[in-house]
A = this chain, B = another copy of it.
Amino acid sequence: MKINDRFDKLVPNYLFADVARKTNAFIAAHPDQKIIRLGIGDVTLPLAQTVVDAMQQGCEDLRYRESFKGYPEYEGYDFVREQIAAYYAGFGVSVEADEVFISDGAKSDCGNIGDIFSEDNTVLIPDPVYPVYVDANIMAGRRILYAPSGKENHFLAMPDRKVEADIIYLCSPNNPTGAAYHADQLKEWVDYALEKNAVILYDAAYEAFIQDDRPRSIYAIDGAKECAIELCSLSKTAGFTGVRCGYTVIPKALTRSGKRLHDLWYRRQATKFNGVSWPVQCAAAAVFSEAGQEQCRRNIDYYRENALTLAHALDDLGIYYTGGHHSPYLWLECPDHMSGWEFFDYLLEKAAIVGTPGDGFGRCGKGYFRLTSFNTHEATQEAVERLCALLR
């Protein structure tokens, strides 16, 4: 019996554990001080009422023999897939309902999608990035290269034709930097992928935060249907972090080695997945209803207002940052050449504000710091006052 010894190569990420430990020590030492948490990576506003109603009705269906639902379709119910196709059409992107696979979340899909690719591929991952892309590919034994980002490209990694890659992860708006690609930049990635015969795995989990004409889907770009899989989630769009629902789009035009990746993923899901809970799919469909969209939009606007409050403060302070405008995240350069952890300690000690050092998101995160917009208006406003008093 051999275990998967590639697990040994995973680097333990103690980032959030260390943040919690330091925060708790500060609270113990200063029980009178009011801590403001701007490190939260989870939504905090409740679900839209219409979504809860639909989910409860979904539960009610399971109470009676006549309306009971057993095993769902592996790929999701058609009425949900059709709603999602209509949602794409709403921002001008054409996707067929049967190209959409419903799942229990984008994180599962991000990890599991690897099953359809050989381990003998080179993976290109932007730095800094959501650590899951890296770890899932270490577990699978793939060679990993990084596409660096920084101030010079506004934390939007761009393709380098000298680099040979087979699988490319992109995340826009990015976690953790909040930076979002323009169409011409995504076009460069699509052209690169087509040239290299590579496949882009496009994580669009934060698309609902985009406010201008930046693409909300990679399929807004010509050629993307021949080279990209899109992974998306209702976690941030509709506050579904605790409900668990996401979706993956695989165009039927996307083939490699003469095989439709759509068919491979269907076979993977039919073998190692059994579909999404009926009440959850009812809730997901409600998200895409007119009332659901209006209510979910209000929650996103609430977080966006916080993000803009923080962004304006950083503007005032003359601190370099990305994100905040099309993302719930702000990614700032630590003042006075402090390291991420130095700035963490400084902010905690002097202003009782908790954020996240950039170091945990990759080599290019050194000297940077992430703030999030998931706290209340009041706490965010107070944080801004403390930040300005401290850093002015």
Contact = CB atoms under 8 A, between A and B. Distances in A.
A59 B55 contact: yes
B267 A111 contact: no
B107 A7 contact: no
Interface string A187-203: 00000000011110000
Nearest to A113: B272
A259 interface: yes
Interface in A55-96: 55-56, 59-60, 62-65, 68-72
Given A56-B60, A62-B243, A280-B277, A70 B46 contact: no
A257 interface: yes
A44 B62 CA distance: 10
A273 to B, nearest CB: 6
A4 B276 CA distance: 25
19 contacts: A1-B167, A2-B117, A2-B256, A2-B257, A3-B261, A4-B116, A4-B118, A7-B259, A47-B62, A52-B60, A55-B279, A59-B279, A62-B243, A68-B239, A104-B273, A107-B274, A112-B272, A135-B271, A243-B277
Given A4-B115, A139-B272, 15 more contacts: A1-B167, A1-B196, A1-B256, A2-B257, A3-B117, A3-B118, A4-B264, A10-B267, A44-B65, A45-B68, A104-B273, A108-B272, A111-B271, A242-B277, A243-B277
Interface of A: 1-5, 7, 10, 42-47, 49, 52, 55-56, 59-60, 62-65, 68-72, 104-105, 107-108, 110-112, 115-118, 120-121, 132, 135-136, 139, 166-167, 196-199, 239, 241-244, 256-257, 259, 261, 264, 267-268, 271-280, 283
